[in-house]
Amino acid sequence: MWELTKSFRFEAAHSLSGTTFGAASEEIHGHSFRAEVTVRGTPDPETGMVVDLGLLQRAIEDVRLTLDHKFLNKIEALGKPTLENLSRFVWERLQHIGKLTRVSIHRDSCNESCTYYGPQG
């Protein structure tokens, strides 16, 4: 069994109300994000790859463009723009590639990250 992880970065702004951070969090502010998408499986005997990296890259680029340099509060399908919801949002847009095992979103400047493992079953 192999795990393959592909990363991408995006810059985005948001505001979060109702946190213990108070006014600082409620003001519009931005972050640099790093996302990691992990697939698991056995390499295809013909290609030698767990997943075609070209297809994975195209799918990731679509998601990155949806998030990059955007005000996350305006992305309706995201909900409240938390790390938790960002990781779920990315998962939902990439689950069609199959073999997806986890999506992690990192906010390195804050030393924070969140990993979503998707529905179990």
Residues of each annotated binding site for Zn(2+): 14, 29, 31
Inter-CA distances, 16 with 4, 55, 97, Å? 33, 34, 31
Enumerate residues 6+ apart whose C-beta is below 8 A from 113. 83, 104, 105, 106, 107
Q: By 3-state DSSP, what share of the chain in percent is helix, strand and coil, each rounded to 5?
A: 35, 35, 30
Query: Residues annotated in the binding site, as ranges?
Result: 14, 29, 31
How far apart are the C-alpha atoms of 103 and 95, rounded to whole Å? 10
State both tokens at 57.
């890259």
